[in-house]
Chains A and B, each alone.
Chain A
Amino acid sequence: RKEVEQDPGPFNVPEGATVAFNCTYSNSASQSFFWYRQDCRKEPKLLMSVYSSGNEDGRFTAQLNRASQYISLLIRDSKLSDSATYLCVVNRANFGNEKLTFGTGTRLTIIP
């Protein structure tokens, strides 16, 4: 079983729609959680960290459920510029041995 699992998609969604991605992780010792975004032929960039209480950044909302080992990302009022691959990332952080584990990514295409 992969440490971080995501639905690879692709998700083809009309502009203005709401889209949700899910991710599960297998290591219950994981310490911190992130969503990264990767555009085609570019490097991954941090989209947002994910906190236990849930957090929002503009049109983006991230949720974490530690009991179910589940992370989600919700994008409201999607824009053409949201088209990218979204990577669920989990940090197994023992002091001095921090390690980010990436999911395979979910590809999102916003259709005009």
Chain B
Amino acid sequence: DTAVSQTPKYLVTQMGNDKSIKCEQNLGHDTMYWYKQDSKKFLKIMFSYNNKELIINETVPNRFSPKSPDKAHLNLHINSLELGDSAVYFCASRTSGENWGETQYFGPGTRLLVL
């Protein structure tokens, strides 16, 4: 029944490694997002995809590469992990269209710790 799911829930890894986080939504939404919430709890958008097409890329280092194999999935691959990448990464989705008030539904988050 989970609307937006993410795997893994926790990820502990060494600096320099490459890792991926997966996101899936079963809401039939067209638009998906990745957000980063840092240790100060500030939530900031990283990317958004609409129907598998990249719409927003908020000056994120190119070590971060999103991939959307279909509109229900948006994965995030991170190369050469750095200490500063430690954060909670949230996936979200919404339906698209002219009604800009549509709710974004967030996944449970992936807690990434880089050692």
Q: Which residues of A contact B (CB under 8 A)?
A: 31-32, 34, 42-46, 49, 85, 87, 91, 93, 95-102, 104-105
Mark out the residues of chain B between 41 and 64 whose CB falls within 8 Å of any chain A CB in the assembled complex.
41-45, 48, 50, 55-56
> What is the bound-complex CA distance between A100 and B56, given in angstroms?
11
> What is the bound-complex CA distance between A87 and B44, given in angstroms?
12
**Does B101 lie within 8 Å of A99, measured CB to CB?**
no
Q: How many residues of B contact A (CB 8 A)?
A: 22
Q: Taking the complex as formed, is B90 at the interface, i.e. its CB lies under 8 A from any CB of chain A?
A: yes
Knowing A31-B100, A43-B108, say if A96 contacts B55 (CB, 8 Å): yes
Q: Taking the complex as formed, is B39 at the interface, i.e. its CB lies under 8 A from any CB of chain A?
A: no
Chain A residues positioned under 8 Å from B34 (CB to CB): none
Shortest beta-carbon distance from B47 to chain A in Å:
11
Can you list, as one digit per residue, whether each of B95-108 has a CB less than 8 Å from chain A (1) or not (0)?
Answer: 01010110110111
**Does B90 lie within 8 Å of A100, measured CB to CB?**
no
Chain A residues positioned under 8 Å from B96 (CB to CB): 98
**Does B100 lie within 8 Å of A42, measured CB to CB?**
no
Chain A residues positioned under 8 Å from B103 (CB to CB): 46
Which of A32, A42, A101 has a CB less than 8 Å from the CB of B108?
A42
Interface of A is mostly: strand
**Does B106 lie within 8 Å of A105, measured CB to CB?**
no
**Does A43 lie within 8 Å of B104, measured CB to CB?**
no
Mark out the residues of chain B between 64 and 115 whose CB falls within 8 Å of any chain A CB in the assembled complex.
90, 96, 98, 100-101, 103-104, 106-109
* A50 and chain B: residue at smallest CB distance: B101
Give the residue among A97, A100, A104 with the most B Cβ atoms within 10 A: A100
* A45 and chain B: residue at smallest CB distance: B106
Shortest beta-carbon distance from A108 to chain B in Å:
13
**Does B41 lie within 8 Å of A104, measured CB to CB?**
yes
**Does B106 lie within 8 Å of A43, measured CB to CB?**
yes
Knowing A43-B90, A44-B90, A91-B100, say if A100 contacts B107 (CB, 8 Å): no
Q: Could you write out 16 A-B pairs with CB less than 8 Å apart?
A: A31-B100, A32-B101, A42-B108, A43-B90, A43-B109, A44-B43, A46-B103, A49-B101, A96-B50, A99-B56, A100-B45, A100-B104, A101-B45, A102-B43, A105-B41, A105-B43
